Amino acid sequence: MAISRETRIERDSLGAIAVPKEAYWGVQTQRALENYPISGLRTDPALIDALAVIKQAASRVFGSLGMLSPEKSDAIDRAAQEVRDGAWDDQIVVDAFQAGAGTSLHMNVNEVIANRANLLMGEVLGSYAAIHPNDHVNKGQSTNDVIPSAMRLAALELTEVLDAALEELQSVLCGKAVQFDRVVKSGRTHLQDAVPIRLGQEFDAYASAVARARKNLWAAAEDLKVLGLGGSAVGTGLNTPSAYRRKVIAELRILTGHEDLSAADDYFEAMQSMAVFTALSGALRNLAIELGRIANDLRLMSSGPRTGLHELVLPSVQPGSSIMPGKINPSVPEMLNQVCFQVIGCDATIAAAAQAGQLELNVMMPVIAHNLLLAQRILANAVDVFTDRCVEGIEADVERCKAYSEASVGLATVLNPVIGYAAAAEVVKEAVAKGESIPALVKAKGLLAEDRVGRVFSTPALTEPYTL
């Protein structure tokens, strides 16, 4: 919506202020806009949806309790649904870095819903004659119970989005494990030659790492389903009827589709502690570490094409240099690495903010919410791109892999049971000095019968435990 320079005057406890005439926000949002022109970063849509669905659920509950008229309850319900549908995203304008606890964002949503509900009831923007943002949209609520509850719902939504992306990545990695199962390559430890491994085994390990990260992510996300709505300002539930806590959770189960939402056992802890968010953030950090490690491996194994390993051929997605013709870089894994670094930084911010809580409230919730949802959002997007534009199209340079596996000095390990570790080490030193392969040197020195050399150094057989 285009906002003209015409204004209307609204008032709060601090006095009068000019608000853009066509804006759906009101006086408290306007003050926040003027007070906090910090980053230009806006609220994640998942958090907007979560705030709106809480307003929707509350309006239904207070309507059923006779504390809102049917007309007011319905208007708030309809306006909140429009916010959930994204119709008024451009009206949620408060900066990500704002006053503590998220009061500015909370009031931004309250004011947008109130103004839209007033229009639905035939009133004008800024009148609040029928629906007031504090008295009606925020009835029985406080920033202090709404914001942490909305954060939980938003993070739960984005956990599902991220998990869907990870599930697809895991599936594609499993497919690559099958595709590359018979491709034998040199293993490497300390970036030095080691015993052979199958490329499929490496990719199967990547799939297992993603599967474990998904499991840990959902284990951390379970506590997101426990909400402290009804605690109001400090957890006591002041200004809320006793039936509200139970009824608002029941409405949220219907509105969100999350049938396992539950009320907190301790409303004070639900407001004071950010542990649920640090746990989830920790799982995201660990996921980022795993994904970054996998991206590093792909970059290393695709290095070259002439002077690197070049065991893998990654899809070409864009030219790699502004000066070197024909250069192709591992651009998508590089992107994933950068996203993983950002997620690790988000986790550090969340940890610092979570320990900064004092007494009945942690006022650092806005920066926790911003970093948590940012981490989830960019991880989900990055994993989608990584899967579709990189992993799906990976091919193996089979001959390169075979040559490395056959040339590796790690093959000497198979001599340990035959001639002993010390003698095998001498073979390695001589092979390196002469530039010969281990099998060729063993054959030349007569360390094994000639008919045994081929069997002992059969690289596919060296990638599994031997049978006694």
Tell me, what's the pLDDT at 263? 97
Is the model's pTM score more than 0.85?
A: yes
Tell me, what's the pLDDT at 15? 96
In eight-state DSSP terms, residue 136 is: I
Tell me, what's the pLDDT at 431? 86
CA distance 111 to 116: 8
CA distance 351 to 211: 25
Tell me, what's the pLDDT at 207? 98
CA distance 303 to 287: 24
Element (H, E) at 263: strand 262-263
Q: Which two tokens stand for residue 86?
A: 């994204």
Phi, psi of 106 (to 5 degrees): -60, -45
- Distances in Å between the alpha carbon of 327 and those of 11, 319, 331, 391? 62, 6, 11, 20
Closest CA to 287 of 228, 206, 231: 206
pLDDT in tens, the chain (468 residues): 556 689 999 999 999 999 999 999 999 999 999 999 999 999 999 999 999 999 999 999 999 999 999 999 999 999 999 999 999 999 999 999 999 999 999 999 999 999 999 999 999 999 999 999 999 999 999 999 999 999 999 999 999 999 999 999 999 999 999 999 999 999 999 999 999 999 999 999 999 999 999 999 999 999 999 999 999 999 999 999 999 999 999 999 999 999 999 999 999 999 999 999 999 999 999 999 999 999 999 999 999 999 999 999 999 999 999 999 999 999 999 999 999 999 999 999 999 999 999 999 999 999 999 999 999 999 999 999 999 999 999 999 999 999 999 999 998 888 888 888 998 889 889 988 998 888 889 888 888 888 788 788 887 888 998 754
Q: Tell which phi-psi region holds residue 57, choosing left (phi > 0), alpha (psi between -120 and 50) or beta.
A: alpha
CA distance 215 to 463: 28
- The radius of gyration computed from the CA coordinates of the chain, to the nearest angstrom, equals 30
Tell me, what's the pLDDT at 415? 86
- Distances in Å between the alpha carbon of 75 and those of 10, 142, 371? 22, 21, 33
Tell me, what's the pLDDT at 467? 56
Amino acid (one-letter) located at 5: R
CA distance 62 to 241: 9
Helices 275-301 and 199-221, axial angle in degrees (round to 10): 170
Q: Which two tokens stand for residue 177?
A: 């494990």
Tell me, what's the pLDDT at 468? 44
Phi, psi of 3 (to 5 degrees): -105, 120
CB 440 within 8 A of CB 450: no
Q: Which two tokens stand for residue 294?
A: 């996998």
DSSP letter for each residue of 179-201: HTTT-EEEEEETTEEEEEEEHHH
What is the 3 state secondary structure string of 379-429?
HHHHHHHHHHHCHHHCEECHHHHHHHHHHCHHHHHHHHHHHCHHHHHHHHH
Closest CA to 65 of 315, 250, 255, 235: 250
Q: Which two tokens stand for residue 334?
A: 């590089």
Q: Which two tokens stand for residue 38?
A: 């910090």
CB 155 within 8 A of CB 372: yes
CA distance 62 to 133: 15
In eight-state DSSP terms, residue 374 is: H
Residue ranges of the alpha helices (H) in 85-196? Answer: 103-120, 143-179
Which of the residues are catalytic? 321
